[in-house]
């Protein structure tokens, strides 16, 4: 009996040890690139982001939404892109209901559109997204948001910390899945000038670039559940959505998507939210939530 227990214990410990050995290089790499990222001077960060935007000017691009610093007083962001905090609203709006039992929806983020490929009808629109039932969205679209028209909604729950979403024009790559944001490895290979400001600090350019684009992400691949971007095509993790406008019945345009970029909020299992809008009726938008 003791021999059997000993063999089982040895087997379990062997599996645990193998798992640790496999994961150790991954964890060490993440620890190193996070440490480098936190030590980077502000001007180096600005140079890297500037080089990315310069690279985007030479071909297809999307607007990457970088999760930037937490904002203490966020009045200036009421009509701009941010996660957490409070949503923009106008007269006649109310806080969406989240469950049949009356629980309020969760305010997720709002995005001020400034992506040329979307067309004139979408420029400067503000799209506000609430999470409903943990798997649906309530989406509102405002044509000309401004402080003078802003009406505060009574928060149904304490607001989460507010973080600015910094738009960064990024090169896109195409393929069968459509026009998608170019991710760190490819950016470093195709546009080596992006890595020049990082040379005094690291030789793991792709890993540190992943941290710059998505601070404190646990990884360096920046897959769909970790990022947010506007324009291009959806980075689908499930089947296509094929949304149509409730008013005219025409297919809707993909506007933007976001993964779990809202601090403190997890959507299902690595959830991704997709937002679409009607070109003919841009006040009509729809959102979908998928998960792995």
This prediction's pTM:
0.88
Contact criterion met (CB below 8 Å) for 204 and 219: no
Residue 225 has pLDDT above 50, yes or no: yes
Tens digits of residue pLDDT in 157-205: 788 889 999 999 999 998 777 899 998 999 999 999 999 999 999 999 9
Tokens at 223, concatenated? 């897959």
Task: For the beta carbon of residue 155, count every other beta carbon within 10 angstroms.
Answer: 13
Strands 228-230 and 253-258: antiparallel
Summarize the confidence of residues 265-277 as an average pLDDT: 84
Angle between helices 205-213 and 2-39 (to 10 degrees): 80
Tens digits of residue pLDDT in 37-82: 999 999 999 999 999 999 999 899 999 999 988 886 667 789 999 9
217 falls in which pLDDT band (50, 70, 90)?
confident
24 falls in which pLDDT band (50, 70, 90)?
low
Mean pLDDT over each residue of the chain, to the nearest integer: 87
HSE on the CB side for 139, CA within 13 Å?
Answer: 24
263 falls in which pLDDT band (50, 70, 90)?
confident
- Among residues 237, 236, 275, the alpha carbon closest in space to that of 253 is found at 275
What pLDDT sits at residue 257? 97
Burial of residue 181 (CB within 10 Å: 0-12, 13-18, 19+) is buried
221 falls in which pLDDT band (50, 70, 90)?
confident
Query: CA-CA distances (angstroms) from residue 213 to 30, 164, 275?
Result: 14, 13, 21
Q: What percent of the chain has pLDDT over 70?
A: 88
Contact criterion met (CB below 8 Å) for 65 and 81: yes
Tokens at 229, concatenated? 């971007």
Tens digits of residue pLDDT in 102-149: 788 889 999 999 999 999 999 999 999 998 875 678 999 999 999 999
Instruction: Give the span between the Cα atoms of 205 and 40, in whole angstroms.
Output: 13
Q: What value, to the nearest 5°, has the Cα angle with vertex 214 and ends 283 and 146?
A: 30
Instruction: Give the span between the Cα atoms of 28 and 42, in whole angstroms.
Output: 25
Summarize the confidence of residues 235-245 as an average pLDDT: 93
What pLDDT sits at residue 5? 60
Task: Name beta bridge partners: 273.
Answer: 258, 289
Summarize the confidence of residues 73-101 as an average pLDDT: 86
Residue 236 has pLDDT above 50, yes or no: yes
- Among residues 78, 30, 10, the alpha carbon closest in space to that of 215 is found at 30
What letter would DSSP give residue 244? B
- H runs (alpha helix) in 116-216: 184-190, 205-213
Summarize the confidence of residues 248-265 as an average pLDDT: 91
16 falls in which pLDDT band (50, 70, 90)?
very low
Summarize the confidence of residues 245-259 as an average pLDDT: 96
Residue 244 phi/psi, 5° resolution? -130, 155
Structural domains in the chain?
Answer: 42-183+222-290 (2.30.320)
pLDDT higher at 14 or 212: 212
Q: What percent of the chain has pLDDT over 90?
A: 62
Instruction: Give the span between the Cα atoms of 97 and 17, in whole angstroms.
Output: 48
Instruction: Give the span between the Cα atoms of 138 and 182, in whole angstroms.
Output: 29
What pLDDT sits at residue 135? 62
Instruction: Give the span between the Cα atoms of 70 and 29, in whole angstroms.
Output: 26
């Amino acid at each position: 009996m003791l021999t059997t227990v000993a063999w089982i214990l040895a087997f379990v410990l062997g599996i645990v040890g193998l798992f640790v050995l496999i994961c150790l290089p991954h964890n060490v790499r993440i620890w190193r690139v996070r440490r480098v990222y936190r030590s980077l001077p502000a001007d180096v960060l600005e140079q890297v982001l500037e080089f990315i935007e310069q690279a985007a000017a030479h071909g297809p691009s999307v607007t990457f939404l970088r999760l930037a610093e937490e904002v203490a007083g966020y009045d200036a962001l009421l009509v701009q892109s941010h996660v957490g905090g409070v949503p923009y609203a106008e007269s006649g709006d109310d806080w969406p209901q989240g469950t049949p039992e009356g629980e309020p929806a969760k305010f997720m983020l709002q995005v001020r559109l400034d992506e040329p490929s979307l067309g004139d009808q979408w420029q400067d629109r503000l799209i506000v997204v609430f999470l409903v039932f943990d798997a649906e969205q309530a989406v509102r679209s405002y044509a000309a948001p401004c402080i003078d028209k802003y009406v505060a909604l009574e928060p149904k729950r304490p607001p989460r910390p507010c973080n600015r979403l910094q738009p960064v024009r990024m090169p896109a790559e195409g393929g069968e899945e459509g026009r998608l944001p170019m991710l760190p490895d490819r950016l470093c290979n195709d546009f080596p000038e992006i890595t020049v400001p990082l040379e005094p600090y690291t030789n793991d350019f792709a890993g540190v670039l992943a941290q710059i684009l998505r601070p404190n992400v646990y990884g360096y691949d920046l897959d769909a559940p970790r990022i947010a971007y506007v324009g291009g095509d959806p980075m689908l993790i499930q089947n296509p959505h094929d949304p149509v406008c409730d008013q005219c019945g025409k297919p809707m345009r993909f506007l933007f998507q976001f993964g779990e970029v809202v601090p403190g909020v997890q959507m299902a299992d690595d959830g991704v939210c997709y937002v679409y809008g009607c070109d003919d009726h841009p006040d009509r938008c729809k959102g979908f939530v998928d998960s792995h």
